[in-house]
Amino acid sequence: MTDFAAARRMMVDGQVRTADVTDPRLIAAMLELPRERFFPEDKAALAYLDLDITVSEPGRPVRRLLKPMVLAKLIQVAGVGEGERALDVGCATGYSTAVLARLAGSVIGLEQDATLARQAADALNASDVSSARIVTGTLAEGCPAEGPFDVILLQGTTEVPPQALLAQLADGGRLVCVLGEGPVGKGMIYSNSGGRISGRAVFDATAAPLPGFAKPREFAF
């Protein structure tokens, strides 16, 4: 039987801390949250591996949770403050939503796969996370009716800057994501300062693509 508590400590010490993640609130959240609860029962033993793990059901579009190191670095770059409002885009089974809920004032986990959304809501309830809720909707559209947000996190790669989501940032808000195509990507932070959006690359990263965030294909004549 897997010793999940020991695996959780090894994940934080061997994957997160070694990637220059030093935020004590974030490290505490990842040490305390039982990540295995956010995986299908038959994949719980994989919860602490340094991999993007598939959590979608067979026959449905493939969805993966970000590897712990990439998730932690993105959240640290975002600088989530107490009392801030966060949007977790593509939350899948809700682990990232639960981590954000330990740092922010309130979190909305957005998921368009209804099965994953139900799993996320159940996992949050089982983990006594009360400051987050799951909303079902199209990922690329975000949650404009619930915004603006201080922090927006994308759980996967986007091939283009996500303009619809950037428009939902509050003044001073930050959006973090992996931007790229295929095996090449960068962890990015976009900031809204007085309505002006600026972005910069922070670290090399790869992640599974999120549906709805592909670059428009050009016609070839």
DSSP string of 110-142?
A: EES-HHHHHHHHHHHHHTT--SEEEEES-GGG-
pTM beyond 0.85: yes
The CATH classification of domain 4-204, taken from the options 3.90.76.10, 3.40.50.150, 2.40.110.10, 3.40.109.10: 3.40.50.150
Residue type, 211: P
Per-residue pLDDT of the chain (221 residues; tens, 9 = 90+): 689 999 999 999 999 999 999 999 999 999 999 999 999 888 999 999 999 999 988 888 889 999 999 999 999 999 999 999 999 999 999 999 999 999 999 999 999 999 999 999 999 999 999 999 999 999 999 999 999 999 999 999 999 999 999 999 999 999 999 999 877 899 999 999 999 999 999 999 999 999 999 987 765 55
d(CA 146, CA 114): 19
**44 three-state secondary structure:** helix
Domain residue extents for the chain: 4-204
Q: From CA 200, how far away is CA 176, in angstroms rounded? A: 10
